[in-house]
Amino acid sequence: MAVIHSRWILIVLVVLNFPGAIFGYSEKELKNWCSQTPYPAPCEQFIKAKATAKHSPIATKSHFLKLLVETALDGAVSAQKTALSLGPKCHNGREKSALTDCVDLYNQIISRLNRSADRCSSVDAQTWLSASLTALDTCRNSLQELGVSAFGYPLTSNNVSKLISDGLSVNKPASPQGFEPTMAEGFPTWVRPGDRKLLQSGSPSADVVVAKDGSGNFKTVKEAVAAAKGGGRFVIYVKAGVYSENLEINAKNVMLIGDGIGKTVITGSRSVGGGFTTFRSATVAVDGDGFIARDITFRNTAGAANHQAVALRSGSDLSVFYRCGFEGYQDTLYVYAERQFYKQCDIYGTVDFIFGNAAVVLQDCNIIARDPPNRTITVTAQGRSDPNQNTGISIHNSRITSAGGLSGVKAYLGRPWRQYSRTVIMKSSIGGFISPAGWLEWSGNFALNTLYYGEYMNTGPGASTANRVKWKGYRVITSATEASKFTVGNFIAGGSWLPSTGVPFTPGL
C-alpha cells in the first residue's frame, strides 16, 4: 500500500474546502465581485471557468472587468460559430438574411470586445461595450423582423448580453469630459493638412473623383469606396448627380464630399416591406470609424407603405455629417451605434425617423416631419437597452418643423424603443404640429419609468411643457448643469476630436 504524504492530504483538504483556491483565486472573492453586477449568477458561472483556466487571482476592479470582457468574447466567438454552422440549414431567404445579419453583427461584437479588453480609456471601453450590446440587440431584432426567432434561438440565448451588461456596470466612468479617443493612425491627427478646407469651402482636392458622365476616376460611388484601403484619410469627391446604389463602407477614415444637399444624391429603395431587415435596408451603411460626409443627400425612396426603410445607417465611431440631407419616411436616419455628430443637416421622415443607440448630437439641424399614412408622427425612437450604456439622442439648437399637409395628424417628439430610451431636446424650436403631450408610449406602460426624456429651454408654438406627459422618466430640465451633460463637449466629448475635422460646433449650451 502506497504511503500518502501529509502535504498531499493538505492539498486535497484545501481543494475540498476552498474550491478554486488552488488556482489562485477564492470563490468567495469571486462571489463578492459578481454580487456588485446586475447579473451575478452568470457572472459567477462563467468567470469561474475563466479564472480557473488563467490560474490567477482577481486582485483589482480592472482585472475583474478584463475577465468579464474576455468571457463575453468567448461566448460571442462561440455564438458566431453556431451562426456559421446554421448556414447550410437555412430553408429560405428570410432565414438566410437574418442569419447573415447576425454573423456580421457578431463580427462587430468580437471586434469591439477585443478593443475593450485592450488598454483603453474607460470612456472608450464604455462606448465599445455599449455598441457590442447594441449589435446583439440588433441580431435579435433582425430575427424577429423576418419571423425566424426560433431558428435563431441558439444565437441569442447565451449569456453574452448579461456579461456585457455586467461589464458596463463595472466599467462605468464618472464623466466623458477630457477623454482622448483611442484610434489607429494616430487619431485625432488623421485629418491631413488641407483636409480642413475640404469641409469648409472651396473645390475639393480628392484622392478620387466620382462622376456619372465619366469625367472622374469612377462612375459609381461603390467603385470609389472599394478603392479605400482603410489607412489614412481617403477623400472621395462625388460630383452632382443622382447615384442609384447601395453602399457599405467598412474602411476607416473615408470622407465623402458632394456638391450640396439635393445636388449630389445617393439613393436606394430597400425596405422591410421589400423583404430586407431594418439593419440591411440602408441605402448607405457606414461601419468604418472616422467617417466624414459633407454636402450629400442620402435617400431611401421605398415610401411610407413599405415601413422601415433606412437612408443612412452609421455605426462609425467618431463620425461627422456636415451639411447633409437624409430623406425617407419610417426609420430614415439610423444612428446605430458609437459616437456621432451631425451639423446643419436636413432630416425628413414620418415614423421613428431618427432612431438607434449611438451617443449622438444633432446641432443646428432641420428636422422635418412628412405626412404619415397612419396619421401619427414620431420624430425619435432611441434604443438604449441598459442603464449604463453611454448612449442617447441629443438635439441641440435645431428646428423641428413639418413639410405641411398634416391635417388630422398626431405628432410626438419620440417614443421609447428600448427600456432605457434617452432623448433630450435643448434650445430648439418646436413646431405647433407637435402634440401638447409631447411624447408617445411604445406599448402600454413599457419603459415609462425607466426612460430619460428631457426638454430644456425650447421655443416655438410646440415647446410648451404645461401639458406634457406625466411619466416618471420625463422631466422638464431647469438646471444648466443637467442640460450640459448632453452637449457636444460633454456627451460625445467633441472638444477632443471635432476640432481636427474642421467642422464648426458649439461645445456647450
Residue boundaries of the structural domains of the chain: 27-171, 185-500
Cell numbers representing residue 423 in the block:
432623448
Q: Which of 121-135, 174-188, 371-385 has the lowest mean pLDDT?
A: 174-188
Q: Which of 254, 213, 220 has the alpha carbon at shortest distance from 235?
A: 254
Task: Give me the pLDDT at residue 120, please.
Answer: 82
pLDDT over threshold 80, residue 273: yes
Residue type at 304?
A
> Average model confidence (pLDDT) for the chain?
88
Cell numbers representing residue 480 in the block:
444648466
Q: Are strands 292-294 and 325-327 parallel, antiparallel or unpaired?
A: unpaired
d(CA 268, CA 222) in angstroms, rounded, equals 13
d(CA 320, CA 317) in angstroms, rounded, equals 9
Cell numbers representing residue 154 in the block:
441558439
pTM (global) more than 0.85: yes
Task: Give me the pLDDT at residue 54, please.
Answer: 56
d(CA 311, CA 335) in angstroms, rounded, equals 11
Answer yes or no: are the C-beta atoms of 320 and 292 closer than 8 Å.
yes
Beta bridge partners of 360: 340, 393
Our CA dihedral for 274, 275, 276, 278, rounded to 10 degrees, sits at: 80
- N residues, the chain: 509
Q: How confident is the model at residue 230 (pLDDT cuts 50, 70, 90)?
A: confident
- Express each pLDDT in 432-465 by its tens digit: 999 999 999 999 999 999 999 999 999 999 999 9
Task: Give me the pLDDT at residue 406, please.
Answer: 87
pLDDT over threshold 80, residue 1: no
Calculate Rg over the CA atoms of the chain: 24
Residue type at 160?
V
Answer yes or no: are the C-beta atoms of 471 and 460 closer than 8 Å.
no
Q: Count CB atoms within 10 A of the CB of residue 109.
A: 30
What CATH topology corresponds to 27-171? Butyryl-CoA Dehydrogenase, subunit A; domain 3 (1.20.140)
Q: Which residues contact 47 (CB under 8 A, 6 or more apart)?
A: 30, 33, 34, 58, 64, 67, 68, 71
Task: Give me the pLDDT at residue 29, please.
Answer: 84
Q: Which of 391, 411, 393 has the alpha carbon at shortest distance from 401?
A: 411
Q: Which of 31-45, 77-91, 197-211, 433-447 has the lowest mean pLDDT?
A: 197-211
Is the omega angle on the peptide bond into residue 436 within 30 degrees of 0, that is, cis?
no
Cell numbers representing residue 367 in the block:
428636422
Q: Which CATH superfamily is domain 185-500 in?
A: Single-stranded right-handed beta-helix, Pectin lyase-like (2.160.20.10)
Torsion sign over Cα 71, 73, 79, 84:
negative
Q: Does residue 307 sit in helix, strand or coil? A: coil
Which helix H or strand E contains 366, and what residues bound it?
strand 366-369
The catalytically annotated residue of 295, 317, 352, 386 is 352
pLDDT over threshold 80, residue 348: yes
pLDDT over threshold 50, residue 220: yes
Question: pLDDT exceeding 90 applies to what percent of the chain?
Answer: 73
Cell numbers representing residue 286 in the block:
457606414
Task: Give me the pLDDT at residue 490, please.
Answer: 97
Cell numbers representing residue 22 in the block:
488552488
**Catalytic site residue 317?**
no
- Express each pLDDT in 409-430 by its tens digit: 999 999 999 999 999 999 999 9
Residue type at 416?
P
d(CA 360, CA 304) in angstroms, rounded, equals 25
- Express each pLDDT in 90-138 by its tens digit: 778 888 888 899 999 999 999 999 999 887 899 999 999 999 999 999 9
Edge-first strand order for the sheet with 247-249 is 247-249, 284-286, 312-314, 333-335, 351-356, 376-382, 410-414
Q: Does residue 17 sit in helix, strand or coil? A: helix
Cell numbers representing residue 434 in the block:
407637435
Q: Which of 313, 319, 214 has the alpha carbon at shortest distance from 256?
A: 319
pLDDT over threshold 50, residue 191: no
First-to-final CA distance of the chain: 83
Task: Give me the pLDDT at residue 174, please.
Answer: 67
Cell numbers representing residue 473 in the block:
422618466
d(CA 306, CA 53) in angstroms, rounded, equals 51
